């Protein structure tokens, strides 16, 4: 179990979920800054953490610079896959805040999470979300966190696989829930609602801090 000071931040502790994530984040390389503001990450995490059981197998689909990884790690997963095509998608992630280089983003993941990678807790996967999910057995994941391009077609393809790949006790979670049909990220909401209406997902929450949490009805 991870517990103690790491890079000037307290992680772990008496309660496995109890972390002082309001402490300063780890020092970032000089070239860069995280893509998501730390306060927003904390809010997002507070919303979803009841669904991330300790010792779970999880995957973050869409990682970029890894601004959310420490939060996900604080749920003490036994395995955390970080899935993003990075440089296979494009030299730059066009929605990036600050430095958009996908090579730099991947480099940051390897550098910042080297201890967890070496211990086998984190596995970075330079893959598209569907390519990655297809490679895993059915009923494998305790949770899958979707934060890729939020397009309707992409989310449909991700959900089609995720409903099979997550355990019956597991959760499909995601970011950037937007009810407004004119919003750039509305595709996620539209696809999830369609799965819900078809009886293939049951929604536990939707919209709070722009997160959604669902269970697969396949299990």
Ligand X SMILES: C[S@@+](CC[C@H](N)C(=O)[O-])C[C@H]1O[C@@H](n2cnc3c(N)ncnc32)[C@H](O)[C@@H]1O
Query: Which residues contact ligand X (rule: CB under 6 A)?
Result: 35-36, 60-64, 67-68, 83-85, 89, 93, 128-129, 147-149, 154
Nearer to ligand X, 132 or 195 (CB): 132
Nearer to ligand X, 128 or 195 (CB): 128
Find how far residue 131's CA is from the centre of its chain: 16
Least distance in angstroms from the C-beta of 14 to ligand X: 27
Nearer to ligand X, 190 or 217 (CB): 190
Tabulate helix, strand, coil % of the chain (nearest 5). Answer: 35, 20, 45
**In the complex, residue closest to ligand X by CB:** 62
Closest by CA to 128, choosing from 173, 49, 63, is 63
Q: What is the CA radius of gyration of the chain?
A: 16
Nearer to ligand X, 60 or 112 (CB): 60
Cβ count within 10 A of residue 33: 13
Q: Which segments of the chain are extended strands (E)?
A: 4-6, 9-11, 57-61, 79-83, 122-125, 141-146, 166-174, 201-206, 212-216
Least distance in angstroms from the C-beta of 17 to ligand X: 19
Least distance in angstroms from the C-beta of 126 to ligand X: 10
Nearer to ligand X, 57 or 61 (CB): 61
Question: How many residues in total does the chain contain?
Answer: 219
Least distance in angstroms from the C-beta of 101 to ligand X: 11
Least distance in angstroms from the C-beta of 199 to ligand X: 26
Cα–Cα–Cα angle for 106, 109, 113, rounded to 5 degrees: 160
């Amino acid at each position: 179990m991870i517990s103690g000071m790491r890079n000037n931040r307290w992680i772990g502790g008496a309660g496995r979920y109890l972390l002082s994530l309001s402490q300063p984040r780890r020092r970032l390389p000089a070239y860069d800054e995280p893509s998501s503001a730390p306060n927003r990450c904390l809010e997002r995490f507070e919303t979803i953490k009841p669904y991330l059981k300790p010792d779970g197998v999880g995957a973050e689909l869409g990682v970029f610079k890894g601004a959310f990884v420490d939060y996900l790690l604080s749920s003490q997963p036994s395995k955390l896959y970080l899935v993003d095509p990075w440089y296979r998608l494009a030299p730059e992630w066009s929605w990036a805040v600050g430095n958009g280089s996908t090579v730099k983003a991947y480099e940051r993941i390897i550098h910042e999470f080297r201890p967890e990678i070496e211990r086998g807790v984190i596995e970075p996967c330079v893959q598209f979300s569907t390519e990655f999910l297809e490679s895993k057995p059915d009923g494998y994941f305790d949770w899958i966190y979707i934060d890729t391009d939020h397009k309707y077609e992409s989310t449909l393809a991700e959900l089609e696989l995720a409903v099979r790949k997550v355990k019956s006790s597991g959760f499909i979670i995601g970011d950037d829930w937007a009810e407004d049909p004119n919003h750039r990220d509305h595709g996620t909401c539209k696809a999830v609602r369609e799965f819900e209406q078809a009886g293939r997902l049951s929604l536990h929450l939707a919209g709070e801090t722009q997160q959604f949490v669902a269970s697969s009805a396949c299990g």
